[in-house]
Structure 1
Amino acid sequence: MVRPTLLTSLVAAAYAAVAVANKLPGAYIVELEDGHDHATVLNHIDGEASTRMTFDYKLFRGLSFKYHDPQAAESRSKQLAALPAVKKMWPVRIVPKQAVGGVQVVDMALDDDKGVMQAGRLPKDTFAPHVMTQVDRLRAKGITGKGIKVAVIDTGIDFTHPALGNGCFGNGCLVSFGTDLVGDAFNGSNKAIPGNKPMDCVGHGTHVAGIIAAQKNPLGFTGAATGVTLGAYRVFGCQGHTANDVLVAAFNKAFEDGANIITASIGAPEGWSEDPWALTASRIVQAGVPCTIAAGNDGASGLFYTDSGASGKGVTAVASYDNVDAPLVSFHSTYNINDGRSIDFIYTPGDPAEWGLSMPLYATSLDYHIDDDACKPLPANTPDLGKYIVLVRRGGCLFTDKLNNVVAKGAQYVMFYNNEPDAVIVSPDDPTIVKATGMVSPKIGIDWVKLLKAGRKVTLNIENLAQSKPVLSSSPNNITGGTVSTYSSWGPTWEMEFKPQIGAPGGGILSTLPVSMGSYGVMSGTSMATPLTAAIIALISEVRGTFDPELMTNLLSSTAKPSQFNDGNNTYAEIAPAPQQGGGLVQAYDAAYATSLLSPSSLSFNDTDHLATNLNFTITNQGSSAVTYKLDQIPSITMYTLGQDGISPMSFPNEPVNAQASLTFSQNSITLPAGHRAVVSVTAKPAAGAINPKRLALWSGYVTITGSDGSHLSMPYQGLTGSLNKATVLERGQAW
């Protein structure tokens, strides 16, 4: 790996840009040297600062605090850092909630019977994310993760949900342990006030929990590991963000509470393994507890964009693949014409969705062919839209533009109707500008416009989601299904550490939501892939009788299936770069019962200046008979990190380079008797030829190991043609 003293000016400047954006002014985390107590620091900051968190854990002792005068904080913190009691010191950084996909498109009409299923049935015999990852094969053998404790660091869990405990919290319950570290009012910057129970008021943590362990429910799916018990560690309030000091506390608390696996679908771009949260997770991994952390949802930002916690050494950073099915949860409601009989319709709630009312409908246009409905400020004679549910046709501009224009006339409840036979979840940039959004099909919307044009009064009666009955629909995802999600963040870390380790389905995932939010919904993100991976580790641990984090990562990576590259519109013949997908899409059954093992999980040859001339990996035959292994390589797409000027970072999809590295093995065929192992030496010849090294060409691929016993294993590798240390960040006289 590149030594810290040789870390590139490129990444240092990029880090600085990110760091300034998320640093909490005047706030610091201090770790104490062994043998020192908190009093030394507390006495030093007495009267000058207030304590945020106190850490008194086996793996981390110290505290976090915030100076009252941010202007004096830097000089005072330097004095504090020089004290013998202080082992290390970091700034407190704000960590946002992971953005999740708010738009899910499905090729179906919501008012048709086609694609709409009855409760308790699925479009396939088994849940698609489980089939994609072989979870269904383990579940068929009765493997459920029984008795394993999985800690979920997130927004809390709605344990009143019928599929998540039905109100039971504590010993003997599905959500059996955990704590609220922050309280409802916490926003990342203010002081955390712990609550009584880790109840979710956001929805993210409940969705994550359902992916792991949701029990039987009317929509017919379950979590991947229904036999585990969950721990809920709430680190977000009802609004806003969290902070890295809270995450340090939460991870240590979960570890000391006896969690067997810790998972967090949280992160912010940083890419340093010495971040205090990443360091905490690494120590927990070294102590024998696997930690899965989301790789991040910044795929649009291109290469070298890993998230903070996921960058920890030994941490399993998880990429996202798109579901092969596109599920959608809709709800029944009714409308009346001239206060007559109730007529049923189906709508898809947006975000926010604070429905639960009856109001007359007002259409911003009586032309149902209009291409730019509400894309411009509404006429001066528009009535007070606060008295109506406002009907707007999709198309011509962003949803946010339409919402801003109707809100300017008082609208708080907005129902869109589509301009194509799809269903879309409307999620504005600022969800606080309205109370509720939703969408109906083109047919329903046109019917309503015709009625209004004819002078009829149309009243919508939309129940609160907690009282509404969900309807699940689904259609195949033939465009991106089974490939890496375009939003999934790319590695490697800024130290050329290999990230992510593996991937799992995260795009378009059905799971639980708080009862107040409708109980069930679809979300997308590495946030969804990460808990599925944690659940799979629980299943594998039940089969193999160990939680060894290194073994888990090695098994998952070596048995995973790398996918072809997809740019969001097309799938290409070439394998997607390893820094996008890690080892590939996890295969739970193959990992659980593998008898041929590889170690480590990946190979990183560094950059041109610090090229690792030889790297080794080990093959172990744990089977009952001899196996002959054939070794080869499959290169993936090489991509430039920087633009043609050799300075500006490229965004997704990065420009491909028609050149690959070649590998040479110390032996191309190995026969191992049962119980034996062999070390293979690998030499890399970096990608060369018509490459501009100033643009930092990241090359990667997979070592393939094919066994005579039918096993098919792979190991991802990566390297960089170019010098990180010599990379130009800015032209002279320019500013970031």
Structure 2
Amino acid sequence: MIRGPAPHGDDRPTTVSAPARGRPGEVLTMADRLRRGALCALCAALLAPLVASVPARAAAADLDKLDRTVFDDPQWGAPDADGKLYVVLHLDQPTVLDLYLGTGYPVGDPRPAARRALERVAAVVAKRQAPSRAFVDRTGATVLSTYVAATNGFMVEATRAQVEALTRTPGLARIYRAPELYPMLGNAVPTIGANRVLQELGVSGKGSHVAVIDTGIDYDHVSLGGKGGDSYQKNDPATVELNSFPTDKVIGGYDFAGRNYTGGNRPVPDGDPLDEAGHGTHVGGIVGGLLGNRQVPHGVAPDAGLVALKVFGARGGTNIYADAIEWAVKANTGLPVLGHKARVDVINMSLGSSWALGVDSAIGVTLSAVRAGIVVVASAGNSGNAAFVTGSPAASQFAVSVASTYASGQRTDKIQVIRSGETEDIEAVEADPSLTVQITGTGERRAPLMAFGTGCDDAAPHPDATGNIALVEYGGCNEWEKLDNIAKSGGVGAVVYNPAGGLTTIGVDWKEEPATIPAFMIPGPDGQRLRQRLDGGQAITAVLSPDFKGSLERDRLADVISPFSSRGPSRGGQFKPDVAAPGSNIVAPAMGSGEKPVTLSGTSMAGPMVAGVAALLIERLRKDGLIPVDQPMSPAVGLGAQEVAAMLVNYADAKVWQDANGGTAAPLAWGGSGRVNAFRTVRSDTIVTAGDIASFNYGIDAFDMVTEDQREFNVKNLGGAPKHYKTAVHFMDPSDQGKGVEFWASKEMFTVQPKDYATLNLHLRVTPDKLKPFTATGGQRVMVPGAGLNNAEYDAHLVVTEVDENGEPVPNGDVARVPIYILPRAASNLRLEPDPIKVSPSTGKGQVAVINDGEGQGNAELFALVGQDPVEQLVDPRINVENVGARVVSGAGGARSIEFAVVTRRKRMTPFDSRVHVLVDTDRNGSLDWEVYNDDPDFLLTGGRRASGEQWNILRRIAGTTPIQYTNVIYLQGATSRYTDANLNTRIIVLRADAAQLGYAPGQPIAFNAVVLHDTIFTDIRGATRNEPFDVVPDGAVGVVNNAVHVVGGARLAFDEANLGFGLDRWSVPLGGRSSTNVTLTRREGGTLGKVLAVFPMNLPVLGDNQVSTIEVGEFVPPPTTVPTDTPAATPTPTNTPGPTVPPTHTPIVIPTLRPTPTTGTGPTWRKVYLPKAVKSDN
């Protein structure tokens, strides 16, 4: 039996040392596949420091414990003004929680024996940690936080030299840069059924405690238990005044940050978690805002207690959210904490960083929270419908990740645009009042609309906007900077649009002084349409008016996914988010207003909806005696936090929609299991758990033969009488039925006794030759949701229905669902024979057979092998280069491209996991001239604030080499050379460069280096216990400075047509399943025969040589007797065609020489693009 992610998913990869081939019709279980290879459990490795024993003192050269991005990664921000870095040291030691749970006592047990056990294990941990702490102190570094409960280690402020010294810390497991996260920005409560819970079930969250890890809470607001009026203005946020805090509503908490903390400087904690930014107040009000304030809707759980754990200052980001989780775990375990202590039942984190930045550290601390009896809820992020963009800590498998939808009965803001006498209403969201003045204060603004670009400082000089309303693009810099530039240019208002998607509330920078012009955000498509009309010379008048606030009815948007909501799957290819909840246009308390509301949008607003439902559920379970009163949840004395989290998923309404027409369901990887349903969740008596919470994560996988699997799930009956159940599996898209993926439960009907559970299995069978076409291939579609993933994903639910003895559904009985996610493809199983390829002396020719033993179609891509690199122990295998090949191909119209194949030793889940650079010395004068590398064009051109999912070959001119100095110009290539040959779950990438643009001239050699480095967005790869975040071929003097590669001297790879002793009649060979063909090789006089590098991108992505082969070419002395021939039925119409279209002709590599780069004329086209400043993506 296999449990956990699918065998070839990167979160817990299974690697096979040789191709797992089988006979036609053979059924192979996943267990068989495992027995044929070796296991590599990444998740276990990530969690090992939490449970391992203390090792011997670290050796003097333990630089392999250091994540080099501590120094060099701009995504983490620069060191502070004093050159200090903020790093986390994880010790290879158990936590207090680990040792305490090992004693057999439940978390929070008040009995004296349990308290003595806790004191003993706390003393043990302190004693074991003492030598490490003493060593850290001796380096001169400053310990800012000490962790003993959620994890074991320290957060430290240190110089570069001190960080190097810290690698010798006794018991050290790993050092990494503290991840920097950002906040993720009335009818919602009825939409999720929370009003029915209050009115019909009498449950209001009383006795449940929700920790809001955020910007703090304005506990002076009437909706949050305060007196209102000017109480907030009289409250010093750095001091707890007499009788001010805690309150009956905000029952505890602590300020870990201080007013001036920004995430890039040292926090100054104090005991007062008063909100100074507004975000946490809004979030807290959604969770548990009180009844009785007519101006502000009440929260989901109005009687729940709130615990304010403040990890943000008045503006900026944070890297101390783990301190707040540590506080909560300590509080539940019984350890002392700073501030006002309170038990925590639920944690809400409406914060994060896109692309799962820092997910490795999030896994450990969220697991500790769950073990301490805490349901962890986290917002998925606001980066829109881009595959794999879902954020961290929500990407942790132990957190309930929440997407955003529209609520029913919504009324939204609008703006009006007038063109040619016709008036159009456009949905809009006003900017947050902390960012800029409000339209209610300025009055109506009616003025011509003009295009203002991005409005950022680096776009200066700005156009004269006097008397105009500016249409400005979202991102590139903070929104205050945009509005300030518009105002300085004479603009009277701003309309902001996000080309990547829909609406969110702008204003996450929290400047001390707000901007001076009103601003509204509109959906991306509307903004692009207006921009096109303005660019076409059309005159448009825009109207911003207080009368338009809440004036647009949006009933048709109920349960439609918010366009800004971040799509999954997670970076490792696993199912996320888990559920959805209303997050668009949510009305909740406004910080500092006394008793007034503010409307905000974002997954920040969706997360606390789910946290509030968890609080309602916990109250009900405590009333029923299923959770101890005044104690944390623990499976030792009742239900555990995982089971409570599972119910949130089990009873979500099955579908959310992609659009307002209600005809197309959002995929699981965008909308989760469905929109949370408070009434069904709180009322129900059945729990179905599977995996880490409640899901079957098969992830991204490849199959070359019929394969079966089974995974456990548990069905628990919380009621007082036996329950009968019936199982079924429903595909979200009924047309997926019969297309190669089958699911069924081990029992169709079964009975569970009261307060008991049953364990069953979900069976999977994959038949690769019946699968849907796999469209997520090639640079044009590899990570694009619509053209790529949506068509290839299989979304389903295991449905467990309460039935009577006859198998009929019980009226108002329990119906629990568990989402099932798999992204399968039919794998080829290509190979070449014979090895070596022999050339006949009489004909000068030889043949090699290309054979596909697999069911799936694939392709053999053939290159001249130009370089091999030995294994380097200090380089992560995902970037450790093994082989490099080169070839020249001809495309339509005779356009020629040079292609470079780079093969690493271990697969990467997505092309974004690493970046491959080829640095070209075109004229071989020792000075590098060009760089070609892979990147998402939108990610590159917007400074990192959005992504398209495509992978392009980017050319960049090199101006100097010590270190490399780039021009600020990149070249977007024409269609022939544009797209990178990139796929999911592979160790192969093929870069392509326009030969003419490089200065191509036949007959001369070309020299280059191949460099692979970890991308700036993924820390769980770069955070592995390895030294170097890059590999270079051939080995030379190479470094990385601010993520820019520089090569200083050293050897280079070279390829010379004169030394290539063979040619092939085909360099790219597509081949159907269970078929073969021949390739003819022709000897060329005077050249060295060398080797052919063959890569098979669509083979199974396992270890060994299954996706790559190097074949020697040699002389042949007697002629061949038999050569495999073409299989007659081997030319089906491709359905799983990988990569870009194969060019019509191929030639051996031809060596270019440098020519001036053309900017006009005929032939291949490209365009110069000037890069923006790098920016973080604010969520």
**What TM-score, normalized to structure 1?**
0.72
Alignment of 1:639-718 (within 5 A): 661-670=741-750, 677-686=757-766, 688-692=771-775, 694=777, 695=782, 697-707=792-802, 708-710=809-811, 711-718=814-821
Which one of the candidate residues 334, 342, 352 is aligned to 1:267?
352
Alignment of 1:345-384 (within 5 A): 351-352=433-434, 355=437, 370-372=448-450
Which one of the candidate residues 244, 247, 250 is aligned to 2:324?
250
Give the aligned residue type for 1:236.
Answer: F
Give the aligned residue type for 1:703.
Answer: L
Give the aligned residue type for 1:148.
Answer: S
Report if the CA contact (8 A) 2:574-2:698 is conserved. Answer: no
Distance 2:587 2:244 in 1: 24
Q: What SS does the aligned partner of 1:310 have?
A: coil
Give 2:566's aligned residue.
489
Q: What SS does the aligned partner of 2:986 have?
A: coil
Q: CA deviation at 1:678?
A: 3.8
Q: CA deviation at 1:193?
A: 0.6
Alignment of 1:320-339 (within 5 A): 320-327=404-411
Give the aligned residue type for 2:213.
Answer: I
Q: What SS does the aligned partner of 2:182 have?
A: coil
Q: CA deviation at 1:155?
A: 0.4
Report if the CA contact (8 A) 1:605-1:612 is conserved. Answer: no
The answer to whether structure 1 residue 131 and structure 2 residue 190 are counterparts is: yes
Q: CA deviation at 1:54?
A: 2.2
Q: What SS does the aligned partner of 1:275 have?
A: helix
Distance 1:290 1:416 in 2: 41
Distance 1:361 1:510 in 2: 22
Query: Cα deviation per residue 1:237-271 (whole Å; 9 max; x = unaligned)?
Result: 1121101xx11111111331322222111111354
The answer to whether structure 1 residue 174 and structure 2 residue 249 are counterparts is: yes
The answer to whether structure 1 residue 78 and structure 2 residue 167 are counterparts is: yes
Report if the CA contact (8 A) 2:205-2:616 is conserved. Answer: yes
Give 1:295's aligned residue.
380
Q: CA deviation at 1:209?
A: 0.8
Report if the CA contact (8 A) 2:288-2:299 is conserved. Answer: yes
Distance 1:632 1:157 in 2: 45
Query: Cα deviation per residue 1:682-707 (whole Å; 9 max; x = unaligned)?
Result: 22234714325755743221122333
Give the aligned residue type for 1:228.
Answer: A
Report if the CA contact (8 A) 1:320-1:505 is conserved. Answer: yes
Q: 1:319 to 1:405 in 2, by over 3 A?
A: closer
Query: Cα deviation per residue 1:513-537 (whole Å; 9 max; x = unaligned)?
Result: 1125994211112211111211111
Give the aligned residue type for 1:194.
Answer: P
Q: What SS does the aligned partner of 2:213 have?
A: strand
Give the aligned residue type for 2:655.
Answer: S
Q: CA deviation at 1:210?
A: 0.7
Give 1:55's aligned residue.
146
Report if the CA contact (8 A) 1:510-1:523 is conserved. Answer: yes
Which one of the candidate residues 714, 723, 729 is aligned to 1:633?
729
Report if the CA contact (8 A) 1:373-1:394 is conserved. Answer: yes
Give the aligned residue type for 1:524.
Answer: S
Report if the CA contact (8 A) 1:638-1:698 is conserved. Answer: no
Q: 1:674 to 1:549 in 2, by over 3 A?
A: closer
Q: Which moved more, 1:390-399 or 1:715-724?
A: 390-399
Report if the CA contact (8 A) 1:267-1:309 is conserved. Answer: yes
Give 1:66's aligned residue.
157
Q: CA deviation at 1:577?
A: 2.0
Report if the CA contact (8 A) 2:432-2:600 is conserved. Answer: no
Q: What SS does the aligned partner of 1:95 have?
A: coil
Which one of the candidate residues 128, 132, 135 is aligned to 1:41?
132
Give 2:75's aligned residue.
22
Give the aligned residue type for 2:194.
Answer: V
Q: 1:670 to 1:192 in 2, by over 3 A?
A: same
Q: 1:161 to 1:4 in 2, by over 3 A?
A: closer
Q: 1:328 to 1:274 in 2, by over 3 A?
A: closer
Distance 1:534 1:581 in 2: 17
Q: 1:730 to 1:53 in 2, by over 3 A?
A: farther
Give 2:101's aligned residue.
none
Give 2:990's aligned residue.
731
Q: What SS does the aligned partner of 1:536 have?
A: helix
Distance 1:349 1:274 in 2: 30
Q: What SS does the aligned partner of 2:404 have?
A: strand
Q: CA deviation at 1:404?
A: 6.3
Distance 1:662 1:357 in 2: 56
CA RMSD between the two structures: 4.5
Alignment of 1:569-580 (within 5 A): 571-573=662-664, 575-580=665-670
Q: CA deviation at 1:593?
A: 2.0
Q: What SS does the aligned partner of 1:372 have?
A: strand
Report if the CA contact (8 A) 2:296-2:589 is conserved. Answer: no
Distance 1:604 1:78 in 2: 36
Query: Cα deviation per residue 1:590-625 (whole Å; 9 max; x = unaligned)?
Result: 111212332221112244359771112233444455
Give 2:281's aligned residue.
206
Q: 1:48 to 1:436 in 2, by over 3 A?
A: farther
Q: Which moved more, 1:149-158 or 1:629-638?
A: 629-638
Residues paired across the two proteins, number: 619
Q: 1:538 to 1:352 in 2, by over 3 A?
A: closer
Distance 1:435 1:512 in 2: 22
Distance 1:327 1:489 in 2: 23
Q: What SS does the aligned partner of 2:606 have?
A: helix
Alignment of 1:477-516 (within 5 A): 477-515=554-592
Distance 1:629 1:583 in 2: 21
Q: CA deviation at 1:174?
A: 1.2
Give 1:165's aligned residue.
225
Give the aligned residue type for 1:578.
Answer: L
Distance 1:311 1:319 in 2: 12
Query: Cα deviation per residue 1:198-247 (whole Å; 9 max; x = unaligned)?
Result: 1111110010011012222232511111112211111111121101xx11
Which one of the candidate residues 259, 264, 267 is aligned to 1:184?
259
Give 1:457's aligned residue.
none
Q: What SS does the aligned partner of 1:209 have?
A: helix
Query: Cα deviation per residue 1:555-604 (whole Å; 9 max; x = unaligned)?
Result: 111111122430x565434x322222322111112111212332221112
Alignment of 1:105-144 (within 5 A): 127-140=186-199, 141-144=201-204
Report if the CA contact (8 A) 1:305-1:490 is conserved. Answer: yes
Distance 2:357 2:14 in 1: 11
Report if the CA contact (8 A) 1:619-1:678 is conserved. Answer: yes
Bigger radius of gyration? 2
Q: What SS does the aligned partner of 2:613 have?
A: helix
Report if the CA contact (8 A) 1:278-1:312 is conserved. Answer: yes
Report if the CA contact (8 A) 2:412-2:554 is conserved. Answer: no
Q: What SS does the aligned partner of 1:528 have?
A: helix
Q: 1:203 to 1:272 in 2, by over 3 A?
A: closer
Q: 1:689 to 1:309 in 2, by over 3 A?
A: closer
Distance 1:357 1:588 in 2: 35
Give 2:216's aligned residue.
156
Q: Which blocks of at least 5 consecutive residues in structure 2 are unaligned?
A: 16-39, 44-66, 80-84, 95-123, 232-242, 332-340, 415-428, 456-463, 497-502, 521-544, 628-632, 634-639, 783-788, 803-808, 828-906, 909-984, 992-1009, 1016-1179
Q: What SS does the aligned partner of 1:507 have?
A: coil
Give the aligned residue type for 1:219.
Answer: Q
Q: 1:729 to 1:408 in 2, by over 3 A?
A: farther
Distance 1:230 1:679 in 2: 36
Distance 1:376 1:605 in 2: 41
Which one of the candidate residues 569, 589, 596 is aligned to 2:686?
596
Give the aligned residue type for 1:232.
Answer: A
Query: Cα deviation per residue 1:404-432 (whole Å; 9 max; x = unaligned)?
Result: 66434467xx44699xxxxx998489886
Which one of the candidate residues 304, 309, 312 is aligned to 2:396?
312
